[in-house]
Amino acid sequence: MDEVVAFTLKNRLDEANYKKLLNVNSPTLHKFVAKYVEHCNPDTVFVNDDSEESVEYVRKTAIEAGEEGGLAMDGHTYHFDNSGDQGRDKKNTRILVPKGVDLGPAIDTRDRDEGCEEAHQILKDIMKGRTLFISFFCLGPANSPFTIPCVQLTDSSYVIHNEFLLYRPGYQEFIRRAGGNALSEFFRFVHSQGEVDERKVSKNLDKRRIYIDLYHDTVYSTNTQYGGNSIGLKKLAMRLAILKASTEDWLTEHMLVLGIRGPRERMTYFTGAYPSMCGKTSTAMLEGESIVGDDIAYLRRGESEVRAANAERGMFGIIQGVNAKDDPLLWKALNSSGEIIFSNVMVTDAGGVHWIDKGVESPQKGLNYSGEWHIGKKDTAGKDIPPSHPNARFTLSLNSLGNADPRLDDPEGFEIGGMVYGGRDSDTCVPVEEAFDWIHGVIAKGACLESETTAATLGKEGIREINPMANLDFLSVPVGRYIQMNIDFGTGLKKAPLIFSVNYFLKDKEGRWLNERNDKKVWYEWMELRVHDDVNAIETPTGFIPLYDDLEILFRESLHKDYSEAEYNKQFTIRIPENLAKIERVKKFYETQVADTPAILFEVLEAQKKRLMDAKGKFGDYIPPFVLLK
């Protein structure tokens, strides 16, 4: 170990924590830790070795520091964020790149030298009077081709507590990897909540910065507690992993991984990409199916197939709308004893929690992110303050769910039969549709994914945006290159997954929903049958859609309800004007926002436009599915 590094660590860490750090044979790690111990200047340093004693210390500290509060149910705690710090801060999230590197107009970047200088100015002495927590984690299963080792530095026990539930422990993985050769490659995260007010929430939001130093595998996050900005291993690490994957011929995707049960006890695994608040978590929690992950997937090619693993082992999910009828498995977990962190919900006088659309009557008063709350309380603009924030969250381990896949930590991952793309779309796409082939699927379903904005990001809601593969916010390579990576990834595979689109948000002209929440179970069961060529489909200008008879059986057997031909016709009518308008919006996006768009994208769009125009000439603007059978 370098003499200066050794001197710093020996003088700033007590003997027990110094020894735990020294157990990892990594001069790179030691130098990194020493640098930020000196720079952030905490009073004490705690090294988590994943022992039960370490984990319990963090849990206890989160309560004592006021970052979390206890609830009546055993293991349950709550946390509040500043009212201006309750969504991903896209404005102040930047990828840091060296001079001369251009990721295109669709990706927010900043000069690395300038960004690092600002981040370090903000971080200087920011942890004075506090404890710096050092913790080790694995993205992906441990001891696996999917594994990425990570080290987190933070002064927030809430952040570390979340990461205990969300990620696999990594201390032993660091020791194992450093056994023969000094470990030098790992992701690094430096976070500080900054100055807090009397409610223990981040105060200096004007100095909130989330910077990803792309070519040094480091994330800096300051003056924020909201999980999407502060839990570095989540979406912030995606930028690092996407770049890493691009150089190693695999994919990092904003995808759930879910096992769907088919006939004869068959299990088929799917990945699914959805923007936030578009049904991804509720899909991953489908009753009777098997959850592997609800948010981030790593995809690698096997000998002839695609295999996927969940980068995480827990769930940082949106709680609004979770109720006993529609989400029985999640409801049971959230209402049982066990370790769960609730963020930005309302805490009742009895020590319970309430959230928007819980399916039960709201208490008259309680405690929420605005302080003491009561029905009719208004903000400074005169607007009603809801009992919980629309982006309120829960954090839990997947093992607490009744549908967790028993192979959750399988180092080989899961063979994928289908890949699904879905967004918020009220007027264009049918509820479920299969692409013609891999390239058509990557482009027409993935690269053309369009969705309305939600409360998961700061800013206006309801704005229609193009969001390639639901991953635009997290890309660290140019958009065109990313699309080409996806095209190349499946090309030539003997067992390439089928690609589908889903749409849970279709409405009629009067604004009424044409889907019910749990209909998604049928859409996935139909896709499972298609993967194994067990049912036929109708060819449309935009892909293959189900036959009515097959859906009628699935609705009756799976959801125990009737499904009429009238419902089918409304849901699966091909909307020519809306589809043509979408093509023009997508073309404009790629012509103006993406400098390196692969030519094949425009070729696929033009071919789809021609099919739509031909169908319009034969059948008119709106084509019921039965017409295409004739």
Return the SS3 of 271: strand
Residues 6+ apart with CB under 8 A from 359: 323, 324, 325
| In contact, 496 and 124? CB cutoff 8 Å | no
Is the CA virtual torsion 339, 343, 349, 354 positive or negative?
negative
- Residue whose pair of structure tokens reads 């482009």 in the numeric block: 443
* Number of other CB atoms surrounding residue 249 within 10 Å: 11
Distance CA 592, CA 95 (A): 21
Could you give phi then psi for residue 315, rounded to 5 degrees?
-135, 125
Q: Which two tokens stand for residue 531?
A: 């993967």
Beta-bridge mates of residue 309:
298
Beta-bridge mates of residue 414:
308
Distance CA 574, CA 430 (A): 7
Annotate 420-454 with b (16+ C-beta within 10 A) or e (fewer): bbbbbbbbbbbbbbbbbebbbbbbbbbbbbbbbbb
Residues 6+ apart with CB under 8 A from 526: 432, 535, 546, 550, 551, 554
Is the CA virtual torsion 38, 44, 47, 48 positive or negative?
negative
Residues 6+ apart with CB under 8 A from 97: 103, 109, 110, 111, 112, 214, 215
Q: Any idea which residues carry the catalytic annotation?
A: 278
Is the CA virtual torsion 157, 146, 396, 223 positive or negative?
positive
Q: Which two tokens stand for residue 455?
A: 């409360």
Distance CA 376, CA 5 (A): 57
Distance CA 68, CA 357 (A): 24
Q: Which of 263, 266, 255 is nearest to 308 (CA)?
A: 255
Distances (CA, A) of 371 to 311, 344, 365: 35, 11, 11
Determine whether 614 is exposed, middle or buried from the number of CB atoms within 10 Å of its CB (0-12, 13-18, 19+): exposed
Distance CA 203, CA 84 (A): 10
DSSP, res 140:
S
Distances (CA, A) of 424 to 271, 358, 434, 465: 18, 21, 18, 10
Return the SS3 of 531: helix
DSSP, res 170:
-
Range list of H helices, 80-111? none
Q: Are strands 622-623 and 93-97 parallel, antiparallel or unpaired?
A: unpaired
Q: Which of 608, 602, 574 is nearest to 436 (CA)?
A: 608
| In contact, 487 and 419? CB cutoff 8 Å | no
Distance CA 559, CA 581 (A): 35
Q: Which of 48, 78, 84 is nearest to 66 (CA)?
A: 78
